[in-house]
Amino acid sequence: MAGRALLMALLVPYVLWLVFAYEYHFLDGVNLLFHEAGHVFFGLFGRTLHFLGGTLGQLFFPVAAAFHFLTQGRRFDALVCGIWLCESLMYAAEYIADAQRQVLPLVGGHIHDWNWLLRRWGMLDHAEGLGGALHFLASLGALAALGLAAREVWLERMEQTEARAALR
């Protein structure tokens, strides 16, 4: 219980920072690893999925972890993974928004995934708007996951208080 409360105390400023001042940071290094693995796996299914696969790969792992925790009835842990998913979406949003400008450094080659995808789909002129919209939606998701995680901690604390009262 105390561990979850401490984690919540750390997550509140972190999520607020993500929402209002997101920049590339330590967790994005993990996301980048999963992003590059996604290219390898999804690349087996054609060129479009190769480029889209990086983003799909980085989103797969927080979803899989959340699903794992949900199947075990560990809602708090799943909600923390939900925050991770939203953070990863913010990372993707920044990459999407950069598709036309292409100022972000590229790791796995010289082709910007989202430039290639949005150009192919005739949406390259909308890259910044799409990235901004995705950041907004991810922000809402992160705030919702944070609020629900706080509710889980509060409900757990209430259950413990009631259990102690019943023993008296």
Which residue in this structure is represented by tokens 């509710």?
A: 151
pLDDT tens, 4-32?
999 999 999 999 999 999 998 999 999 99
- Asked if 55 and 35 touch (Cβ cutoff 8 Å), the reply is yes
Average pLDDT over residues 149-164: 90
CA atoms within 13 A on the CB side of 156: 14
What is the biggest distance separating any 2 CA atoms in the chain, rounded to whole angstroms?
A: 69
**Left (φ > 0), alpha (ψ -120 to 50) or beta: where does 105 sit?**
beta
pLDDT of 1:
66
Q: Provide the pLDDT confidence category of residue 107 given band limits of 50, 70 and 90.
A: confident
Q: What is the pTM of this model?
A: 0.93
Number of other CB atoms surrounding residue 135 within 10 Å: 22
pLDDT tens, 47-74?
999 999 999 999 999 999 999 999 999 9
Q: Pick the closest to residue 36 from 18, 59, 6, 58 (CA basis).
A: 58
What does the alpha-carbon distance between residue 162 and residue 168 come to, in Å, rounded to a whole number?
10
